[in-house]
Amino acid sequence: MELKRVVVTGLGTITPLGNTLTETWEGLLNGKSGAGPITHFDASKFKTQFACEVKNFDASLYVDRKEARKCDRYSLLAIGAAKQAIEDAAMDLESEDKDRIGVIFAAGIGGIQTFEDEVLGYAKTKDTIGPKFNPFFIPKMIADIAAGHISMIYGFRGPNFATVSACASSTNAIADAFNYIRLGKANAIVTGGAEAAIAAPGVGGFNSMNALSTRNDSPETASRPFSASRDGFVMGEGAACLVLEEMEHALARGAKIYAEVVGAGMSADAYHLTASHPEGLGAILVMKNALEDAEMKPEDIDYINVHGTSTPVGDISEVKAIQKVFGEHAYNLNISSTKSMTGHLLGAAGALEAIVSIKAVQEDIVPPTINHVEGDNDPEIDYNLNFTFNKAQKRTVNAALSNTFGFGGHNASVIVKKFVK
């Protein structure tokens, strides 16, 4: 059976840099940080008191107030990004076969704020009137429900589920959407991820593992991938959505095409609950698998949007893996970690960074890795590699690879390239 080709026809984002794709992309190219003091809850007693929050998000632009009360924040962000992407794709939904349009949408955690609210409520009533829970508690909290909401809003009856692989979740969602379309199981799939974990249990939980930066005196410079003084990731939130479409279906309706998805790879470290393999073995394997799937050589890649979380172990192992897979060509690549600006969107990171890779391919410019200061060099990292420090760089980007690695040793990568019919 001949596999079908898959293209990207719609994009939408709500991020700490802005509530549209245009604002987010401009922020990235300008090296803007989305970090600041936490406002979602009182973090004054927490080790980390800052994050990359979405600012001025108005859910009523996307969902009426009554429906919004049935949703956790992560679902509202997901619906917002999905509506942007579907509008951007400009399909005639009246004439489309909705049995052939699916929704595969990820979250790494799901409705953690809802969970906190309901458990605190239970603690107050359990010894007096007994258990009291909101009937929407479970449907607000579960990690698949954003995919359900999006399909119900539009009546999309194709493949509909969520993928959960921690920080790799939305890259896995894209990989699944890509595979279902190229196998002929759908004409189009709305895919991506959302996360809203800047809540007391989210920040407190990651703090207890010493995973987050504690640079409370300078939030904007805390996420500094590949710098010696990095001290953990900065939590972000938001949503990113892509409309993937079978190429002939897109061409037949005269759709604008951003890029082609050509390969996806998956692997496991099988090593540790939360740490990446120190030699990057799973990262090596996932990039090789993506290249093989795309039928591309390492030399065909121009840009890698790295996982690059600004953690002491993870940054080193990813660099080692890139050098192992790409050899001498590693020195011709542009490499950047946009988490230096957006923070780590956890289950939404892969979708956002796939979109960044698509925009880099479309516009031939690579957004930077910000916050590196000259001399702040880690002896374990080879600075002859081009980490695109502090300033966006114009270059031809024919193909880009996006990496995501999640707690549990889950690794997922996707490759996008310029569309040529």
Q: What is the pLDDT of residues 386-399, one digit of tens each?
A: 999 999 999 999 99
Local structure of 389: helix, strand or coil: strand
Query: Mean of the pLDDT values across residues 37-46?
Result: 98
Above 90 in pLDDT, residue 100? yes
Task: Give domain status of residue 158, yes or no.
Answer: yes
Q: Which pLDDT band, with edges at 50, 70 and 90, does 150 fall under?
A: very high
The arithmetic mean of pLDDT across residues 121-136, rounded, is 96
Considering the domain boundaries, does residue 202 fall inside one?
yes
The CATH code of the domain that includes 344 is 3.40.47.10
| pLDDT greater than 90 at residue 206 | yes
Q: How many CB atoms lie within 10 A of CB 139?
A: 18
Say if 286 falls within a structural domain. Answer: yes
Separation CA 360–CA 356 (nearest Å): 6
Mean pLDDT of 195-203: 98
Give catalytic residue positions: 167, 307, 344
Q: Does residue 195 sit within a domain?
A: yes
| Confidence label for 278 from pLDDT (cuts 50, 70 and 90) | confident
Q: Give the residue from 173, 189, 195, 321 showing the smallest Cα distance to 244.
A: 189
Neighbours of 128 (CB within 10 A): 7
Residue 1: the pLDDT is 83
Note the pLDDT of residue 292: 98
Strand partners, 303: 334, 400
Separation of alpha carbons 131 and 118, rounded Å: 10
Instruction: Let me know how long the chain is.
Output: 421
pLDDT-based confidence at 56, cuts 50/70/90?
very high
| pLDDT > 90 fraction of the chain, expressed in percent and rounded | 98
406 in any annotated domain = yes
Q: How confident is the model at residue 323 (pLDDT cuts 50, 70, 90)?
A: very high
Strands (E), 57-139: 101-106
Domain enclosing residue 107, as ranges: 6-417
Read off the tokens for 135.
């009937």
Other Cβ atoms closer than 10 A to 31? 17
Confidence at residue 257, expressed as pLDDT on a 0 to 100 scale: 98
1 assigned to some structural domain: no
Q: Cα separation of 420 and 267, whole Å?
A: 29
The confidence band for 80, taking pLDDT boundaries of 50, 70 and 90, is very high
Going by C-alpha positions, the residue among 19, 20, 165 that lies closest to residue 104 is: 165
- Dihedral sign from CA coordinates of 27, 28, 32, 36: positive
Q: Do the domain assignments include residue 13?
A: yes
pTM of the model: 0.98
Residue 284 pLDDT:
98
Cα 227 to Cα 223: distance, rounded to the nearest angstrom: 9
Q: In the chain, how many domains are there? A: 1
pLDDT (0 to 100) of residue 275: 87
Cα gap 412→150, rounded to integer Å: 24
* Residue burial 223-249, b: 16+ Cβ < 10 Å; e: rest: bbbbbeebbbbbbbbbbbbbbbbbbeb
Q: What is the pLDDT of residue 193?
A: 98
Residue located via tokens 């502090």 = 390
pLDDT of residue 65: 93
